[in-house]
Structure 1
């Protein structure tokens, strides 16, 4: 398609030079109907750089733009950018689309899991028990009031606005959003809206859209492989099966109760083969053996589904229904998946878990990305780009690695050897060394320091020594923090900017990515060790699978996911062109070629044993 980009929708006073390169790369991708995989560090202005050329092209060629992101903060940033673009040229509508359950105004929706909510929603609509849906449609047609609400929503429409207006007028927010989506040229949504097979098909049908006539922008695309694997993964447990047995008994499904009891007995019998292990591989036949072939299992799945739907009518949620979904997936393919039985520690006692886990994210992502008019994958940690091309099964891709736009003099990247979190060398002596290095850094930094550890367990063992020698106030991240708790800790940590405090967190925890502490709020990030996954059966299966498929199993299945986490941790430090700070990678393994080669080219870390003097010099120059 011949096309001259005008940049008439660019919402800021000037285009930065590095941003201009990204805009040009996006322009080429949408014009040539290809995919762009772009490593674009923080500060490049990637949201506007991706949206402006994509929206301009979509307006001229009658396409839809989907901006997909997994974080609410990015939803807000995208909508704010689109609102600024709309003020320049009010010729399009943009919609912020969040999950149906999140938008639901029914009180029961907050108590249900996603699969249960879908059944509950369908049932209350069928039985005319949802006043919000009833206020939106009458005899299959939109009410006058709903039409008026839809017509009033213009510009870049935030999800909060839709929920607010719908609650005020007694409408279903999700149905109102879908109607706005029919008119919208741009939709900001979650990954699941286009990559979850059943959600995608229903969603696109309701907004009269297609993948082929869409430009898809995938923000924070380093998260996409894991999210895609989760889409095609499911599990059940002895706890869930026990609840399913009680449900079947309560509602008089005696034959199904016996079937579920047989399933529970089967996994209990299989678990005895574990001996002293925590997990073991299963085959499809291990579960099929309790049924009279696949036809019998399909019949049972149908009966479970029907019974579960009836149970949802009575109590909104059903473990019987969840079992139906799990068994449906269990019959899926072997290639690209692994079946595992494991023992997990519950709050009171151990329980058995049986899982069907996807290994290959391309099974969920490949067709969507390859069939779209164009796809733009962007992230500040999308290196190496060829790994993401392979993992996501992308066929026609341009790969670009853009340099960090911030002045090199504003950052000091250090590799500090002399200690490690390597499993075979974990002992009190190592923890003392790690504590000493961390304390030396934190005590020298004129401000706040965040220290990230591979796990909470290692964090606590190092902290036992660290808190005795660190001169600053220390704060500990708590596992599985709620949104309010996280915000409270960030506010408290930020309040110490002038005198300095230390936050000790986990690489994969609440603060590892997705938070901004610009200016003087964070002066140093210290990354202790490598957040390598435990060598579980799933990890080993990933390594074997990617070895067979790409001959890069060790990299794709083990090393690079850990490096991506460390780079996300590192990205918390410098968030603007005026920020100054240090990033220290503390572990001798960062000197090993297989790990050092994973750093972005422009990172240029300095190996230092005299790191205290390096830090003093850096901050004395920065403040002079």
Structure 2
């Protein structure tokens, strides 16, 4: 290989799927190959073992194609190469759920993969002709159907050259764009004056990427986490240490902040294409998101046009905003969501939700599908959210009642499907009879096998069904069954299997991911480096245990740049949110605390509560107290409460209350862990106090207790892992709403006697080293003294 020439690498599978695709988007076709790929590893290995000594499994093959000014390197692994009396035969194995009788010929992209391997092998071994075998295996029955053919080398060579010629313009675009991008990166400097501790953070991120490691960053508000991770990642790209940045977030507002960080670098003439992936439901042009050619004109013929639409966009602009994507999609009459995903393949940075990388149902198969690997740099914002999100993404449940319901729906028109549903229902019924409340199970492999059989019938039914209402119901169960089967395939010591009879009588079987670290690693290991960062990543050992399976990860604690004297931190010792302490008297005491805080200094405050119920109880007492004495203590207090189900418009209206100039104090009532306890930015005097009611511990429930028992059994502090650490994270997030800039002053009240406990104080950030104790009798004086000092400073 000529090392002086740039090299573009692409897998055989990616090449054929990209160049040879065509036709419609149609979600009515269940996507057999895609689903089977997740489950097919064992089938592949079983078939390979059965083929005898003349069968060579997993043969790595690669071929260089010389282009003008660069090399195209095409590589992959053939499932098998057989030595036969007639000569070598390339074998391509595909596991499917579809009945084999319905398969009359190989699927185009599958055969194209095999032909690529056949060409490379024939060329390397000087063969004039070579055999190709397509092996299809039904995932349920393990029945096999084969298609065999023989190709002359000249025929394969002409076909392969046409295929690579079609890709050459895309490869050339990558080479030319990379030169422009990297040249512009070299000129970019950090766009702001470094705050205290910020330069060390930037350096740590860069070193982590250089060493291809993971880094956990506890960085308080004000450090500038976003630009401090984006900037070194961009510089690392310019030095060839990564080819694509994934900036992953849990909330929409942090995506905006990330976009702004890239924009601040673009202001220095950085040439970089950045895209924010928008949810399908939000970007869809149709009133209803029905992705098929009958209901959506953009789905019809989408794949015939989308490559040209994407290439034109890439060649004409660096701007990849949602508006630009939508405009291009309308011009070419293609789906804006799917086109956005295709554009993401060619851009330099992708800002998106966690699920585009980690969710087994929603991840970007272009990057994280079977066999895909790249030089990705992962920047994971608000990483504390990834523990619970990870648990949910890698857990799966099925309900007995759903199988019975669908059986009754289809019984009259499809006895085969009804029979399979009945088999699953009976197995779940047998488990239900053994379960009084809940039951830990060692294995549900017998049910897994029945689910595979059911999936075959459901796929057939979904392709044939013309009753849209019934089809939607069947499809919903199909997705649940598929998820359960996929998760079952990866069960290990990080899972618990249990059945539960829920309060409403429904019977659930659940595969519960206790520790998601191994599952996350499947995706993170496909990149070069990962940076987890948050203002509340404490205690760090908890997050390292649940987000990474490596023992070599780095961790740093970025010091707060803010003056601790501008913040008053008090712990109230005469109140408690324990269930045994709750009642009218305690609710009144909390309400009086809020009133005293609000009357101590005119300004905006938010009180964060452990639940809607507790918040509503205190709110009722608070309002009645104010109504009995309208100018309680000489200052009028206004109030506003978060409701359970708020639209985006309602959220904006709620926050507008804190933007307005007022003559009175304002007390907001919110829930810890909710939409207003993270991500909102009320700087300066828009918020001068946060009152944290309780320790934020999750409610006692089945899965929390299972977590506690699991971690206890592994020699860890189960209560802390299941309750204390998640709860205190909510506390820290809520408290972080107050001091947002170095100009801010404010108070934080932690109102629960349990904050005196050393285990809770272990999770306090370093900047909370100075705090005071208060009670309902002296809190007003302590707050007023603090504000007097601020006024004189």
State TM-score, norm by structure 1: 0.86
Offset at 1:242?
A: 5.6
Quick one: structure 1 residues 158 and 331, their matched pair in 2 at CA, closer, same or farther if it must change by over 3 Å?
Answer: same
Offset at 1:304?
A: 2.8
Out of 362, 370, 377, the residue aligned to residue 517 of structure 2 is: 362
Out of 677, 694, 706, the residue aligned to residue 541 of structure 1 is: 706
Q: Is the 8 A contact 2:306 2:332 kept in 1?
A: no
State the distance in 2 between where 1:181 and 1:81 align. Answer: 19
Q: Which residue of 2 aligns with 1:92?
A: 272
Q: Is the 8 A contact 1:480 1:509 kept in 2?
A: no
- In the TM superposition, what are the counterparts of 1:148-227 in structure 2 within 5 Å? 148-155=312-319, 157-167=320-330, 169-197=332-360, 199-200=362-363, 202-204=365-367, 211-227=373-389
Quick one: structure 1 residues 313 and 193, their matched pair in 2 at CA, closer, same or farther if it must change by over 3 Å?
Answer: farther
Q: Which residue of 2 aligns with 1:114?
A: none
Q: Which residue of 2 aligns with 1:113?
A: none
- In the TM superposition, what are the counterparts of 1:417-496 in structure 2 within 5 Å? 417-470=573-626, 471=632, 472-495=637-660
Offset at 1:172?
A: 1.8
Q: Is the 8 A contact 2:368 2:523 kept in 1?
A: no
Q: Which residue of 1 aligns with 2:303?
A: 137
Residue 336 (str. 1) matches residue 336 (str. 2): no
Per-residue displacement from partner, 1:337-359 (whole Å, max 9, x unpaired)? 234455667xxx76554433211
Per-residue displacement from partner, 1:70-97 (whole Å, max 9, x unpaired)? 2111112211221221231333222222
SS in 2 for 1:42: coil
Offset at 1:379?
A: 0.6
Of 469-478 and 253-262, the range deviating more from structure 2: 253-262
CA root-mean-square deviation:
3.1
Q: Which residue of 1 aligns with 2:193?
A: 14
Residue 58 (str. 1) matches residue 237 (str. 2): yes
Q: Is the 8 A contact 2:360 2:394 kept in 1?
A: no
Of 533-542 and 163-172, the range deviating more from structure 2: 163-172
Q: Which residue of 2 aligns with 1:322?
A: 479
Q: Which residue of 2 aligns with 1:404?
A: 560
Q: Is the 8 A contact 2:518 2:549 kept in 1?
A: no
Per-residue displacement from partner, 1:350-384 (whole Å, max 9, x unpaired)? 65544332111113212333453111111111111
State the distance in 2 between where 1:57 and 1:247 align. Answer: 57
Q: Which residue of 2 aligns with 1:570?
A: 735
SS in 1 for 2:385: helix
Q: Is the 8 A contact 2:397 2:511 kept in 1?
A: yes
Offset at 1:176?
A: 2.6
Q: Which residue of 2 aligns with 1:256?
A: 417
Per-residue displacement from partner, 1:196-226 (whole Å, max 9, x unpaired)? 23544613169x9955511111011111111
SS in 1 for 2:685: coil
Offset at 1:503?
A: 1.3
Q: Which residue of 1 aligns with 2:772?
A: 606
SS in 1 for 2:740: coil
Quick one: structure 1 residues 312 and 481, their matched pair in 2 at CA, closer, same or farther if it must change by over 3 Å?
Answer: farther
Quick one: structure 1 residues 151 and 175, their matched pair in 2 at CA, closer, same or farther if it must change by over 3 Å?
Answer: farther
Per-residue displacement from partner, 1:268-322 (whole Å, max 9, x unpaired)? 77667776xxx5235366x777x6xx54442123223433454588357333323
Larger radius of gyration: 2
Q: Is the 8 A contact 1:304 1:320 kept in 2?
A: no
Q: Is the 8 A contact 1:446 1:523 kept in 2?
A: no
Q: Is the 8 A contact 1:215 1:372 kept in 2?
A: yes
State the distance in 2 between where 1:424 and 1:274 align. Answer: 31
Q: Which residue of 1 aligns with 2:260?
A: 80
Quick one: structure 1 residues 135 and 162, their matched pair in 2 at CA, closer, same or farther if it must change by over 3 Å?
Answer: farther
State the distance in 2 between where 1:262 and 1:282 align. Answer: 22
Per-residue displacement from partner, 1:207-251 (whole Å, max 9, x unpaired)? x9955511111011111111111111223446644652354247x
State the distance in 2 between where 1:426 and 1:205 align. Answer: 49
May I ask how many residue pairs the two structures share in their alignment?
592
Q: Is the 8 A contact 2:237 2:243 kept in 1?
A: yes
Offset at 1:19?
A: 1.5
Quick one: structure 1 residues 497 and 306, their matched pair in 2 at CA, closer, same or farther if it must change by over 3 Å?
Answer: farther
Quick one: structure 1 residues 88 and 583, their matched pair in 2 at CA, closer, same or farther if it must change by over 3 Å?
Answer: same
SS in 2 for 1:17: coil
Q: Which residue of 2 aligns with 1:71?
A: 251
Of 434-443 and 390-399, the range deviating more from structure 2: 434-443
Out of 457, 462, 465, the residue aligned to residue 303 of structure 1 is: 457
Quick one: structure 1 residues 465 and 622, their matched pair in 2 at CA, closer, same or farther if it must change by over 3 Å?
Answer: same
State the distance in 2 between where 1:457 and 1:271 align. Answer: 33
Higher relative contact order (CA 8 A, sep 6+): 1
Q: Is the 8 A contact 1:474 1:501 kept in 2?
A: yes
Offset at 1:6?
A: 9.0
Q: Which runs of 5+ in 1 are unaligned?
A: 110-119
Offset at 1:469?
A: 2.7
State the distance in 2 between where 1:212 and 1:551 align. Answer: 35
Residue 579 (str. 1) matches residue 772 (str. 2): no
Q: Which runs of 5+ in 2 are unaligned?
A: 1-181, 627-631
Q: Which residue of 1 aligns with 2:531?
A: 376
Quick one: structure 1 residues 264 and 296, their matched pair in 2 at CA, closer, same or farther if it must change by over 3 Å?
Answer: closer
Of 484-493 and 209-218, the range deviating more from structure 2: 209-218
State the distance in 2 between where 1:400 and 1:430 align. Answer: 40
SS in 2 for 1:105: coil
Of 549-558 and 412-421, the range deviating more from structure 2: 549-558
Q: Is the 8 A contact 2:711 2:721 kept in 1?
A: yes
SS in 2 for 1:451: strand
State the distance in 1 between where 2:738 and 2:563 align. Answer: 14
SS in 1 for 2:270: coil
SS in 1 for 2:267: helix
Quick one: structure 1 residues 141 and 575, their matched pair in 2 at CA, closer, same or farther if it must change by over 3 Å?
Answer: closer
Q: Is the 8 A contact 1:369 1:394 kept in 2?
A: no
Quick one: structure 1 residues 611 and 217, their matched pair in 2 at CA, closer, same or farther if it must change by over 3 Å?
Answer: same
State the distance in 2 between where 1:329 and 1:174 align. Answer: 25
Q: Which residue of 2 aligns with 1:44?
A: 223
State the distance in 2 between where 1:365 and 1:46 align. Answer: 22
Q: Which residue of 2 aligns with 1:618?
A: 786
State TM-score, norm by structure 2: 0.69
Quick one: structure 1 residues 272 and 151, their matched pair in 2 at CA, closer, same or farther if it must change by over 3 Å?
Answer: same
Offset at 1:539?
A: 0.8
SS in 1 for 2:569: strand
Offset at 1:597?
A: 1.3
SS in 2 for 1:322: helix
Offset at 1:26?
A: 0.7
Of 85-94 and 393-402, the range deviating more from structure 2: 85-94
State the distance in 2 between where 1:102 and 1:230 align. Answer: 23
State the distance in 1 between where 2:212 and 2:237 align. Answer: 12
Q: Is the 8 A contact 1:525 1:569 kept in 2?
A: yes
Q: Is the 8 A contact 1:193 1:203 kept in 2?
A: no
Residue 589 (str. 1) matches residue 754 (str. 2): yes
Per-residue displacement from partner, 1:468-514 (whole Å, max 9, x unpaired)? 33442222211132222111222134436542211112112221212
